[in-house]
Amino acid sequence: MMILFEKIVFSPKKRVVFSILMASMMSVMIIIPLRASAWDPSYADLALISDQKMIAHLLSLIMVFLTTWIVMDLEHPLIVTLNAYFGFWRIHLSKLIFLLMWIVMLYLPLSLIQNGIIIFLTGRMPTIDVFNIALHDIFDAFLISTFAHPLAKSKHPSLALLFPILYTILRTITSNDFSMKLYTIFPAYQHEIIHYELAIAYKLCYISLGLLLISHFLKRRPPF
């Protein structure tokens, strides 16, 4: 099933686009920190911290748009036949597993490069916060794609891009100013919630809500 989904989503042209985006992001992660390290040592650490925040922010936004693009391309005419044969929820849950797999496969190499550069330049090992941020970024991309799925199945699939755009606006608004109200309404990552013990659980509840919305709008019984 996963091989079939991969053939549906990743056409030769799309593989080229993904490769260019990944190579560009890797170049940014390598060049910008190296540039900062060449500055006066008294400013190098401050510049490196600022650059890493910018790179992490950019990475999270790119992941959300890429995963939404994958969701849009997963709505292929062949999926209708598979739904009729295997059942809607079996195919849909398989698509979610496929999507989560690709989110991790796209995010992990970039995150390793980002943190590897920090270790190389500073000699300091990353803290547990790096793991927490990675979890939030992965679940943010998964959450947005879950909510975008009903729009991807509509007559105008491009409407699914509204969710990544709204996510970008929300992340930009809260990048410097923490807002508990906005976080309560929609649990997009904010730096201040990194140590909240229930932050990931709250995000998983929203993913479940996305599945319920899918069952409501598509008139399918939920799988739970």
Alpha-carbon distance of 64 to 134, in angstroms, equals 13
* Region 20-44 average pLDDT: 73
Query: What mean pLDDT value characterizes the chain?
Result: 79
Query: Residue 44: pLDDT above 50?
Result: yes
pLDDT-based confidence at residue 61 (cuts at 50, 70, 90): confident
Per the model's pLDDT, the better-predicted residue between 176 and 201 turns out to be 201
Q: Are 91 and 79 in contact, with CB atoms under 8 Å apart? A: yes
Tens of pLDDT, residue by residue over 98-127, are 888 888 888 888 888 887 877 777 777 777
Helices 2-9, 77-86: crossing angle, 10 deg rounding: 160
pTM metric for this prediction: 0.83
pLDDT of residue 224: 47
Percent of the chain at pLDDT above 70? Answer: 88
- The answer to whether the Cα torsion of 176, 179, 180, 184 is positive or negative is negative
Residue type, 187: P
* Region 83-88 average pLDDT: 77
Alpha-carbon distance of 131 to 84, in angstroms, equals 40
Query: Residue 43: pLDDT above 70?
Result: no
Q: Output helix, strand, coil percentages for the chain, rounded to the nearest 5.
A: 80, 0, 20
SS3 167: helix
pLDDT of residue 37: 62
